[in-house]
């Protein structure tokens, strides 16, 4: 099997509204959300299910209730049984990887049109019992029920919140919020800067929601013929922050409180802080819930096809995939990985950072975004701050305001990018980039078609 050079394009896509943790979409499983997104994109593009060669889905919180959720979702959505399907787990860049994988399948001649995206229901992440079934108390469900009162005290059995477990890196033993505070301390990013950045995200997301930008690609989530959720929840839950910005400063700090002081944080993370020392009265904690992304539920999907197939089917071609880059860094500094992935993607595309007209940057934390601004400018000829000031970055709001349904976010960034570029004829080149737990970074460069 040989690769055949050809143009690979994006022919639109849709996503569900993003539901906040334990709110609007909390009762629905990730396969339900992905089914809705697939049905939505088929309806929006008038694409026949028979034309789909495969469905590729990212999913972080993988569980046994939907083994190979891509396959489960496509069958629930009425895509033909013959279609290929596989599921990707690359944390927050999972759906970026599905787009790159769809490209690879197309140039290798395995198919001509794929649905690529991601889904997540953080509201239904399970609690787990960790232990060996060699232990008679865990031999079966009946045994667990019988011994339930004794299980929490057993040394070789652990009751686990898979959300907290999944958001903690097992190599460096550090959770994602802590990686943001580490970046803030290393790059001297103040809380005030982070709050200002977060306010920008909330403000622009609300403006985009109200102006109708998200109507171009957000389809209501429906069940039994009734609308469950019509628009993203979190921007409106935080609407008061835009009208009263001083509220941002009232959010409690994550790493400086009565039970855990910033000095403790410095002691626990000394190996990651690159020689930075805690100075009493001078060193300040910075990361809060308001300048960090929210836990969320949602699904997103894009139509990825060969140019030839897209034209044959009469699809609306929005962008050509020019290049991508994936790059790994130390998990403790996962937040700045977009700098490295972007550098690689731009090199492959034969472009420079200044060639980019629109950028969608995953806002895991304001601290990591602002650290990217510093690292990119100082060492990689990437002037992120200038691009941000010019309105090129997250012009319609970002993850801090919209929420972060993990594996769905990469495709969400690309949807913002393709529909933003489509609405502005001056935007020729665009970039979507994200960091991911484990130190991974992903970046995809698109050209307006």
Mind telling me the catalytic residues?
Answer: 92, 404, 435
| Residue 3, CA distances (Å) to 98, 105, 110, 322 in order | 18, 9, 10, 16
- Those residues whose C-beta lies under 8 Å from the C-beta of residue 80, and which sit 6 or more positions away, are 49, 50, 52
- Opening angle at CA 372, ends 441 and 280, nearest 5: 120
How far is 138 from 131, CA to CA, in rounded Å?
Answer: 7
Map tokens 């339930």 to a residue: 148
Task: Find the DSSP H helices in 305-352.
Answer: 307-313, 337-349
Token output for 447: 């050209």
Token output for 446: 């698109």
How far is 105 from 113, CA to CA, in rounded Å?
Answer: 9
Task: Find the DSSP H helices in 46-93.
Answer: 69-76
How far is 17 from 231, CA to CA, in rounded Å?
Answer: 5
How far is 400 from 403, CA to CA, in rounded Å?
Answer: 6
- Opening angle at CA 431, ends 272 and 192, nearest 5: 50
How far is 101 from 103, CA to CA, in rounded Å?
Answer: 5
* Residues 232/35/434/9 CA torsion (nearest 10 deg): -110
What are the φ/ψ torsions at residue 382 (nearest 5 degrees)? Answer: -115, 105
């Amino acid at each position: 099997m040989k690769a055949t050079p050809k143009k690979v394009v994006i022919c639109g896509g849709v996503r569900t509204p993003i539901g906040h943790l334990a709110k609007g979409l909390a009762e629905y499983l990730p396969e339900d959300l992905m089914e809705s997104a697939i049905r939505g994109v088929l309806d929006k593009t008038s694409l026949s299910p028979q034309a789909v060669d495969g469905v590729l889905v990212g999913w972080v919180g993988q569980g046994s209730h939907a083994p190979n959720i891509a396959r489960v979702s496509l069958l629930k959505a009425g895509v033909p049984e013959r279609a290929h399907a596989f599921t990707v787990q690359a944390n927050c860049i999972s759906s970026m990887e599905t787009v790159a994988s769809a490209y690879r399948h197309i140039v290798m001649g395995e198919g001509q049109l794929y649905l690529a995206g991601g889904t997540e229901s953080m509201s239904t992440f399970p609690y787990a019992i960790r232990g060996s079934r060699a232990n008679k108390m865990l031999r079966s469900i009946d045994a667990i029920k019988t011994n339930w009162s004794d299980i929490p005290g057993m040394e070789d059995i652990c009751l686990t919140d898979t959300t907290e477990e999944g958001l903690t890196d097992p190599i460096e033993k550090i959770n994602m919020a802590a990686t943001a505070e580490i970046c803030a301390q290393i790059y001297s990013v103040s809380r005030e800067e982070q709050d200002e950045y977060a306010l920008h995200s909330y403000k622009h997301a609300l403006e985009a929601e109200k102006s109708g930008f998200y109507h171009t690609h957000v389809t209501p989530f429906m069940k039994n013929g009734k609308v469950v959720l019509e628009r993203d929840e979190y921007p409106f839950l935080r609407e008061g922050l835009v009208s009263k910005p001083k509220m941002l400063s009232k959010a409690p700090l994550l790493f400086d409180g009565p039970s855990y002081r910033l000095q403790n944080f410095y002691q626990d993370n000394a190996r990651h802080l690159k020689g930075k020392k805690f100075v009493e009265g001078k060193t300040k904690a910075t990361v809060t819930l308001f300048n960090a992304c929210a836990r969320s539920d949602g699904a997103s999907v894009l139509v990825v096809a060969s140019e030839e197939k897209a034209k044959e089917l009469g699809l609306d071609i929005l962008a050509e995939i020019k290049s991508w880059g994936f790059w790994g860094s130390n998990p403790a500094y996962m937040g700045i990985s977009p700098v490295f992935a972007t550098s690689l993607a731009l090199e492959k595309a034969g472009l420079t950072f200044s060639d980019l007209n629109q950028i969608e940057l995953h806002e895991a934390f304001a601290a990591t975004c602002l650290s990217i601004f510093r690292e990119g400018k100082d060492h990689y000829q990437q002037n992120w701050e200038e691009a941000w000031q010019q309105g090129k970055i997250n012009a319609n709001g970002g993850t801090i305001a919209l929420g972060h349904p993990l594996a769905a976010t990469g495709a969400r960034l690309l949807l913002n990018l393709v529909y933003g570029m489509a609405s502005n004829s001056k935007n020729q080149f665009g970039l979507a980039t994200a960091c991911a737990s484990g130190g991974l970074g992903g970046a995809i460069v698109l050209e307006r078609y």
